Amino acid sequence: MTEYYNYIKALHLIFVITWFAGLFYIPRLFIYHIEAQQKPEVEREILSTQFKLMEKRLWYIITWPSAILATIFAIWLLVLMPQWLQQPWMHIKLGFVLLLIVYHLKNHLIFKRFQQDDIKYSSNYMRIWNEGATLILFAVVFLVILKSAFSWIFGVVGIIVLGILLMLGIKLYKRIRNKNPEA
């Protein structure tokens, strides 16, 4: 079975990428959906219907299948390489994966509410929420690439700095948008 290891690893990576693509895009659709609620009634109805359809297709055709397949291939890799479970970096990675699953499930709850026209979030909140997947992605990639050479202090500081930069970027975008509503 180890002769298939690289194929399984490649499939795992492909589905992780498509899973993250869905997790990056669904909050962006939520933002557009929220902002459509501020349009005149006819436009709001048309846009809302379209965003619901786009959200539904993204969520059920790309994001959920990718999450499931990425998880199946990850478990398969761990079965092939059980020694990874002995390594501290893998424990931390699995912690981030658990956090990613929680983030995914929270997006699912938000998705279900939006499908029922129950929108209780601001677009600014969703812009901040959208960065959750980014932080997890950065943490996991650096952890997997650097493994035991990873300095925990630099890692924690790096994630905090990235979070601060993302928040500053959101604030800057909000300022630009307030000055130029078409941005």
Binding residues for heme: 12, 93
Structure tokens at 70: 């990425």
Q: Which residues fall within 8 angstroms of residue 39, CB to CB, at 6 or more apart?
A: 47
Structure tokens at 178: 């307030």
CB 93 within 8 A of CB 147: no
φ, ψ of residue 181 in degrees (nearest 5): -60, -15
Instruction: For residues 103 and 160, give the distance between their C-alpha atoms in angstroms, rounded to a whole number.
Output: 18
Structure tokens at 44: 């709001």
Annotated binding-site members:
12, 93
* CB-count burial class (<10 Å; 0-12, 13-18, 19+) for 48: middle
Instruction: For residues 23 and 59, give the distance between their C-alpha atoms in angstroms, rounded to a whole number.
Output: 9
